[in-house]
Amino acid sequence: MAMMDGKAVLVTGAGRGVGRGVAMAMASAGASVVVNDLGVSLTGDNQGEASPAEQVVEEIRAMGGKAVANHDSVADWDGACAMVKAAVENFGRIDGVVNNAGNLRDVYFHKMSPDDFRAVIDVHLMGSFHTSRAAAPFFKEQQSGAYVHMTSTSGLVGNFGQANYSAAKLGIVGLSKSIALDMQRFNVRSNAIAPFAWTRMIDSIPTDTPEQQKRVEGLKKLDADKIAPFAVALCSDAGKDVSGQIFAVRNNEIFLFSQPRPIRTAHTADGWTPETIAERVFDQFANDFYPLHRSADVFTWEPV
């Protein structure tokens, strides 16, 4: 038997890039797939374009798999419920949710408008909540299920001009961990993946300088389809003991990320004042402060 035989999975943002790769891999592994894609521009503007999801469905059916298209928005609660309902009505169940849908509105923080911030939060963070919450009652009833949420090193490490995206993606990490804790007793797992991939999400990076051009050339080596096998493994029964974790996938590299834990402590029997904190604590902790790194400062080597 294939790893996902008999299972049904919802993949959001599955018309292109990472989502398309995940949907195809799920189908190849035997899953029935709800292929969700709104068909919008990179900034989230509706283009009235439903074809990407339909094309993926046709590809899955052509190779003998089962799939249906959905064009609702993850930012809308009713739309998220409709996606889950599509899986249950067409395939009789839902076993996995891959929260991949996303948008970008990159701008430096001092220029970022409330609309820029809210638009990205609504799709990434609220969207992940909506679809996950919509599937939760079904997972609880059947005493099984798996969530895979796409986070980003923009949130885990940092990047310029992405306060909205970084906040959303780090929020997803907290959401995933909370789901893992709350639904553990129902045999439901929840994990996050930071994908490294060349997609239209990062195709908008400027190439005005030699440094930017070099960075983009490196990013183009990152195959979006390389994320899919890990997502399938997490959703399969083989991943039943993996929950509450943060991973990254970069071509043939798989990373397990650390999670925040205390690394230093300072105490005093007399209680602290602002003055004694400034005199003693800052200097004591200084060697362990994290520098203002960006993702590229941490992942400095060529993809494997």
Sign, CA dihedral 56-58-64-69, equals positive
CA angle at residue 122 from 117 to 124, to 5 degrees? 95
DSSP assignments along 175-241, one per residue: HHHHHHHHHGGGTEEEEEEEEE--STTTTT----SHHHHHHHHHHTT--GGGGHHHHHHHHSGGGTT
Cα torsion 162, 164, 165, 169 to 10°: value is: 130
Catalytic-role residue among 108, 147, 165, 290: 165
Q: CB–CB of 52/16 below 8 Å? A: yes
CA distance 35 to 11: 6
Question: 219: how many CB neighbours lie within 10 A of its CB?
Answer: 17
Indicate the helix (H) or strand (E) that contains 120: helix 114-121
CA distance 19 to 292: 31
165 is catalytic: yes
Residues tagged active-site: 165
